[in-house]
Amino acid sequence: MSKFNQAKRIYFIGLKGVVGFSAKHLDRPIDLVIRSSAYSDDQVEVKAAKEKKIPVLSYAEALGELAGEYKSVAVCGSHGKTTISAMLAHVLKQANLSPSAIVGSAVPQFGGNALVGSGELLVFEADEYQNKLQYFSPQSVILTSIDWDHPDFFPSADDYFATFVTFLKKIPTDGFVVACYDSDNVKEAVDKAGLSPEQILTYGLTDGRLQMVRMWLDEGRWHFSATDGEEYLGEFWLKLVGSHNVANALAVIACARRLGVDLEAIRTGLASFEGTARRFENKGKLTNGITVVDDYAHHPGEIKATLKAARAFYPYKNIRCVFQPHTFSRTQALLADFVMLFINRQFRRQLII
């Protein structure tokens, strides 16, 4: 069990963990079973819990109940959820708001993938797969993008799109959405959700009220300037790589300002954020001096953004992309997009599968 990071954390905080599955694990007083959606009702422990009339919730259902106890911000969309969730939580923490947070990857500055704060705010990554969004009723939402994904569950792009529209309609009248208007699909979803103008905060690299003016790379840090309507917000800098992370930072600026965070506190928080695991994560160098970077990008749009960021950050280096296809269904459904990406003259000499 020691080889699993989550198991290490369980033991570190004093909880008892067991390896393997057995109905005997439920032969003691248990109030609630939370299961991964990877396990069906026939899984041995789930089945035993149901036979013993022990309440069973999926992870998404449990997260929805937890989020209901807070003034919550759900970060959703096809891309950027993990980075924005962690970045926003970090900025709020640095601003002394003591938020709680649940992120879909390890965040080194958190010592794990979560924060437990004493404040009223919860920032959480809201995964759309298997329509988990149906279990969440957040106060506010950040919507990054809508690019058809998870074809094993959403048979068409229209089905996928409709899930986000339904989710936005759940925002209460005193809540808001921070929407990336670089995406036409996001624009359409916000329009169909029927929110009032006061509830809609827009951002983007090229469109939206809060917008990037220019960006540049200087001494290994990404710098950018931004405006909010007619207001010039000044310059910001990031430890993260790529224009997509500038867009992520814009979402955080828009949300944090709406939550009452001072602009200078936001600027300081962004500058100190170190990123999350497997998001352009520098893993070190091989014995021959080659730098190895690990990134979870698995959708054609994400891979394109990561490769563009790598080229910008290492302009004079040879770059090789070692691509591991992620799920058969996605690879099959989006094969044409993968092919068009990798035969692009900019990337075609970089691919190893």
Give me the CATH number covering residue 321.
Answer: 3.90.190.20
Which of the residues 45, 61, 82, 306 is marked catalytic? Answer: 82
100-137 residue pLDDT tens? 999 988 898 998 899 999 999 999 999 999 999 999 99
Q: Do 89 and 183 belong to one domain?
A: yes
Which of the residues 45, 61, 125, 128 is marked catalytic? Answer: 125
Which pLDDT belongs to residue 347? 54
- End-to-end Cα separation, the chain, in angstroms: 31
Higher pLDDT, 1 or 122: 122
Q: Do 218 and 233 belong to one domain?
A: yes
Structure tokens at 146: 């809508």
Three-class SS state of 312:
helix
Local structure of residue 42 (DSSP, 8 states): T
Average pLDDT over residues 1-5: 45
Q: Do 256 and 138 belong to one domain?
A: yes
Higher pLDDT, 217 or 224: 224
Report residue 3's pLDDT band, with 50, 70 and 90 as the boundaries. Answer: very low
Active site residue 198: no
pLDDT > 70 fraction of the chain, expressed in percent and rounded: 89
Does residue 189 contact residue 166 with C-beta atoms inside 8 Å? no
Q: Do 254 and 304 belong to one domain?
A: no
Q: Do 208 and 183 belong to one domain?
A: yes
Q: Do 316 and 168 belong to one domain?
A: no
268-297 residue pLDDT tens? 999 999 887 666 777 888 888 788 888 777
Q: Do 156 and 227 belong to one domain?
A: yes
**Domain end call among 225, 248, 272:** 272
Q: Do 317 and 254 belong to one domain?
A: no
Q: Do 116 and 193 belong to one domain?
A: yes
Which pLDDT belongs to residue 346? 60
Does residue 313 contact residue 240 with C-beta atoms inside 8 Å? no
Q: Do 101 and 146 belong to one domain?
A: yes
Active site residue 81: yes
**Domain end call among 211, 240, 272:** 272
Which pLDDT belongs to residue 114? 93
Q: Do 93 and 187 belong to one domain?
A: yes
Question: What is the number of structural domains in the chain?
Answer: 3
* Buried b / exposed e along 100-136 (16+ C-beta atoms within 10 A): bbbbbbbbeebeebebebeeebbbbbbbbeebbbebb
**Domain end call among 226, 246, 272:** 272
At 63, phi and psi to the nearest 5?
-65, -40
Active site residue 285: no
Q: Is the pLDDT of residue 345 over 60?
A: no
Any idea which of 126-135, 146-155, 182-191, 339-348 has the lowest mean pLDDT?
339-348
Which pLDDT belongs to residue 119? 97
Average pLDDT, the chain: 88
Q: Which helix or strand (DSSP H or E) is residue 164 part of?
A: helix 157-168
| Domain extent for 25 | 5-54
37-62 residue pLDDT tens? 888 899 999 999 999 999 999 999 99
Q: Do 233 and 312 belong to one domain?
A: no
176-218 residue pLDDT tens? 999 999 999 999 999 999 999 999 999 999 999 999 999 998 8
234-272 residue pLDDT tens? 999 998 888 889 999 999 999 999 999 999 999 999 999
β-bridge pairing 221-228 and 210-218: antiparallel
Which of the residues 45, 61, 81, 276 is marked catalytic? Answer: 81
* Buried b / exposed e along 56-68 (16+ C-beta atoms within 10 A): bebebbbbbeebe
Q: Is the pLDDT of residue 1 over 50?
A: no
Give me the CATH number covering residue 122.
Answer: 3.40.1190.10
* Number of C-beta neighbours around residue 263 at 10 A: 15
